[in-house]
Amino acid sequence: MNWLDSHCHINDEAFREDLDAVLERMAENDVRKAMIISSYIDDYRFALKISHPEISFKHSLGIYPGDVDTVDEELFHSYESLYKEKECTAIGEIGLDYHWNKENKERQKEIFQRQLVLAQQLHKPVIVHSRDAIQDTYDLMKKYPVQGVMHCYSDSAEMAREFIKLGYYISISGTVTWKNARESLEVIRNVPLDRLLIETDCPYLTPVPKRGSRNEPAYVVYTGKKIAEELGLDEEVFKIQLNENYHRLFGL
């Protein structure tokens, strides 16, 4: 069974010069599935062209919370049209981020809510970003129930259990390998295996021992191995569970 990356940005400018080599390293490290996340329409169209004979890609598009002030109605409807395409497996990453901008909370909530409603109508899962906004994120997700995943989860184990009750998966990034990973380790010990996913969020959040370099999907292996070790799981058993979770959420 193979490893997978449930959240990567290999359509980012950081990979334009050596994308073929990045894909080869994925295959060499047995990372055979990946969800490519797009926040911009041009990046989404580029992502649809990415291919490798040994890797299966899925695609997600969403209005990132940091961009809501630049989105007018015409642009919103352009996103909406693309959400309806079969190539768009999920809507995301969407959500709330009060870390960088606390002045536009209402606008962030409005755009998040509208995308949750579209996900309901289209019967598509969502990929949720939440930073310093966990209660508002939870309240909206509870009000507009859909399936989805909490991307790069970094909050408490208690809140993780609440999101799981709403039907969400919890995705863990390379931060679980860092020295200050106490809270992430607590989360993985409290999340049922059938609700767990792993990701790189590349080119960000590079795991140990590659920390300090650009992250890429091949490095998701370090995250997976760390979690398996911490939980006392056989790696093959863990990979089987990850694949089942990925397909249950995003389809075969």
Q: In which order are the strands placed within the sheet that holds 168-172?
A: 3-8, 31-38, 56-61, 88-97, 126-131, 148-150, 168-172, 196-198
Dist CA 125 CA 59 (whole Å): 12
CATH architecture of the domain covering 3-250: Alpha-Beta Barrel (3.20)
pLDDT in tens, 24-70: 999 999 999 999 999 999 999 999 999 999 999 999 999 999 999 99
pLDDT in tens, 64-105: 999 999 999 999 999 999 999 999 999 999 999 999 888 999
- Tell me the mean pLDDT in the region 199-206: 98
pLDDT in tens, 110-146: 999 999 999 999 999 999 999 999 999 999 999 999 9
pLDDT at residue 88, as a whole number: 98
Give the tokens for residue 213.
């370099």
**Does residue 154 contact residue 118 with C-beta atoms inside 8 Å?**
no
Residue 252 has pLDDT above 90, yes or no: no
pLDDT at residue 12, as a whole number: 97
Res. 198 pLDDT band, cuts 50 70 90 = very high
Dist CA 31 CA 54 (whole Å): 9
Could you state, in order of their start, the residue ranges of all structural domains in the chain?
3-250
pLDDT at residue 101, as a whole number: 82
**What is the four-CA torsion angle of 216, 218, 223, 225, rounded to 10 degrees?**
-170
pLDDT at residue 188, as a whole number: 97
- The mean predicted confidence, pLDDT, of the chain is 97
Rounded percentage of the chain residues whose pLDDT exceeds 90? 98
